[in-house]
Every structure is written in C-alpha cells, then in structure tokens.
Amino acid sequence: MAQERSPDHDPESIVLPSGKSIEIVRLAEAAAPYAESNSPVARSGAVVRTEDPRLCPHCDCSLVYPVAWETAPQDQWSVDLRCPNCERREIVVLAQEIADRFDEQLERGAETLMTDLKRLTRANMAEHVDRFVAALAAGAIQPMDF
C-alpha cells in the first residue's frame, strides 16, 4: 500500500555526518523555509568554526564532543559542543567537510575506547580466573560457597 502524503506534512530527507540518510516529516506550520531570524543557529548566537571542533578554545582540551547535531543552512551543521575538562558548552556552526572529519574522528575514538574496554575486561577476567584457580588449588572453595 502506497503511503499517502498529507498536505499538512512536509517530508525532508537529510544526510547525517556519518553518511546515513534519514527522512523526517515536519508539520506544515514548522515546515516553513528556514528563516534566518527563526533558525536555532541565529537564536543561539552560534559561532562559525573553521578549526578542529575537538579543541576547546577555553582550556585547549582535545576531548570536546557533540551533545547534539542539527542541520543548518548552506550545507552546514549546528553542533552543541561540550568540553569534559572545563565543562564549557558552545553551539558552533561547522561546514560539511569539517563535520564529516569530526564525525570520523569521533568514530575512531569510539572504536579505540571499545578496543581498550575489551582489553581491560579480558585482563580483569583473567585475574579473576587466576584467583579462582589458586583458591581451588588451596582448597579454599567449598561446595557451600555456591
């Protein structure tokens, strides 16, 4: 069955920095053309960033991460950034190419964290197994322990 389009809904397709394409449906009153004065970017006083968004301009921490992403006019992204070091929050506008690089860096960082977590989990489990085996060998574990 074909999906009917209602005149009070306006579908819009957007491409996220990761390359995934999604379709959103806005109600007719919210689907008005992107008005500069009504944009979240304009309301927030967002700063256009051309340098690496991972770097905090306040404390030079390189671990800044996005709290939220939103499309902005002219192939740009409005990004709410947070610095975990100084707790600074800033809404910035990133060009598509900078947003793409930032997204790739975030994905690589997440992969690194997952690799480290797996390694740490294995090391902790190996330590637990070694202690359990030593306790078994010493006769320190009894049937009532289970």
Q: What is the pLDDT of residues 129-140, one digit of tens each?
A: 999 999 999 999
DSSP three-state, residue 136: helix
Encoded amino acid at 91, one letter: I
The pLDDT of residue 37 is: 41
Establish if 42 belongs to a structural domain: yes
Residues 6+ apart with CB under 8 A from 93: 41, 46, 47, 48, 49, 72, 76, 77, 78, 79
Range of the domain at 44: 9-138
Question: Which stretch of 22-31, 36-45, 46-55 has the lowest confidence by average pLDDT?
Answer: 36-45
The pLDDT of residue 118 is above 60: yes
Establish if 60 belongs to a structural domain: yes
Establish if 2 belongs to a structural domain: no
Q: How many structural domains are present in the chain?
A: 1
Residue of 49, 39, 51 whose CA lies nearest to 90: 49
Per the confidence metrics, is the pTM higher than 0.75?
A: no
Establish if 59 belongs to a structural domain: yes
| Tens digit of each residue's pLDDT (9 = 90 or more) over 57-79 | 899 999 999 999 998 888 899 99
The pLDDT of residue 8 is above 70: no
Establish if 143 belongs to a structural domain: no
Average pLDDT, the chain: 79
| Angstrom distance (rounded) from CA 42 to CA 68 | 16
Instruction: Pick from 3-12, 21-30, 134-143 the range whose average pLDDT is largest.
Output: 134-143
Establish if 146 belongs to a structural domain: no
| Angstrom distance (rounded) from CA 27 to CA 48 | 29
Encoded amino acid at 93, one letter: V
Could you give the percent of the chain with pLDDT greater than 90? Answer: 49
Residue of 96, 66, 98, 62 whose CA lies nearest to 81: 66
Establish if 3 belongs to a structural domain: no
Q: Which residues pair with 47 in a beta bridge?
A: 92
Q: How confident is the model at residue 30 (pLDDT cuts 50, 70, 90)?
A: very low
